[in-house]
Amino acid sequence: MTYCSASYQFSYLDTPEFYTTGLHILSMIAIPIHLFGAYCILFKTPETMSSVKFTMFNFHMWILLVDLVFTVLVSPFPLFPLFAAGVFGLLDGIGVNRTFQTFLQFGTVETMYIGMILIFENRYLIITDANKYWKAIRKPWTVLNYICAVSVGIPFYLMIPENQESSKSKVFERSPRPRTCKHM
């Protein structure tokens, strides 16, 4: 089943090469901004915000890592409407297992979410002056959250088919690849 008309002429804009080039250009713009943000959090945060400085920096670093993973290291090229993607990042170029790259994507996004939750938890702790029980369990709770964040991708990791070539043929039956795609 195709989603284009039979007369559609594929162009360079339809290719993974264009997509990854765009992602790499965005990362060249975003990474210096992320580093400047980290500098501001570490060295320019007012003393009155020192209680939230670590959690802001933690969250900011996870955002930076997610940005690096999705724009430079993995660069996934989604194949809609299926739950499939090709990868065209630096890790694929050096031969890193694509299954690991998928796991890396899930893990970084999930840990970024935990960083976001920690900001709210930190604000809760400071604003409400939480009881002693919460203060006692908050560090194990944080560790448990990070363990869960990393392990949530394991079922997806295990569902990735061993035989990638037969899976590719099934994907391309439903969503044919552009003729200009060289790497898939």
pLDDT digit string, tens, across residues 66-76: 999 999 999 88
Asked, for residue 106, whether it belongs to a domain, the answer is yes
Asked, for residue 83, whether it belongs to a domain, the answer is yes
Asked, for residue 179, whether it belongs to a domain, the answer is no
Asked, for residue 72, whether it belongs to a domain, the answer is yes
Angstrom distances, CA of residue 18 to CA of 15, 141, 147, 161, 181: 6, 43, 36, 28, 10
Number of helical H runs and strand E runs in the chain: 7, 2
Containing structural domain, residue 126: 12-174
Q: How many CB atoms lie within 10 A of CB 108?
A: 24
Question: Is the distance from CB of 122 to CB of 53 less than 8 angstroms?
Answer: no
The domain total for the chain is 1
Asked, for residue 102, whether it belongs to a domain, the answer is yes
When pLDDT is cut at 50, 70 and 90, the band that residue 16 belongs to is: confident
Asked, for residue 99, whether it belongs to a domain, the answer is yes
Preceding peptide of 46 cis, ω within 30°: no
Beta bridge pairs of residue 119: none
The pTM is what? Answer: 0.79
Please classify residue 149 by burial: count the beta carbons closer than 10 Å to its beta carbon, then call 0-12 exposed, 13-18 middle and 19+ buried: buried
Q: Tell me, what's the pLDDT at 12?
A: 83
When pLDDT is cut at 50, 70 and 90, the band that residue 126 belongs to is: confident
Tell me, what DSSP letter sits at residue 15? S
Question: Is the distance from CB of 31 to CB of 67 less than 8 angstroms?
Answer: yes
Average pLDDT, rounded, for the chain: 83
- Displacement of CA 69 from its chain's centroid (Å): 6
Question: Is the distance from CB of 75 to CB of 20 less than 8 angstroms?
Answer: yes
pLDDT digit string, tens, across residues 78-121: 776 667 777 888 998 898 888 888 888 888 999 999 999 999 98
How much is the average pLDDT of 49-57?
91
pLDDT digit string, tens, across residues 150-166: 888 788 777 777 777 77
When pLDDT is cut at 50, 70 and 90, the band that residue 182 belongs to is: very low
Q: Tell me, what's the pLDDT at 136?
A: 84
When pLDDT is cut at 50, 70 and 90, the band that residue 171 belongs to is: low
What tokens were used for 6?
């039979």
Question: Is the distance from CB of 67 to CB of 34 less than 8 angstroms?
Answer: yes
Q: Tell me, what's the pLDDT at 33?
A: 96
Residue 172 pLDDT greater than 70, yes or no: no
Asked, for residue 183, whether it belongs to a domain, the answer is no
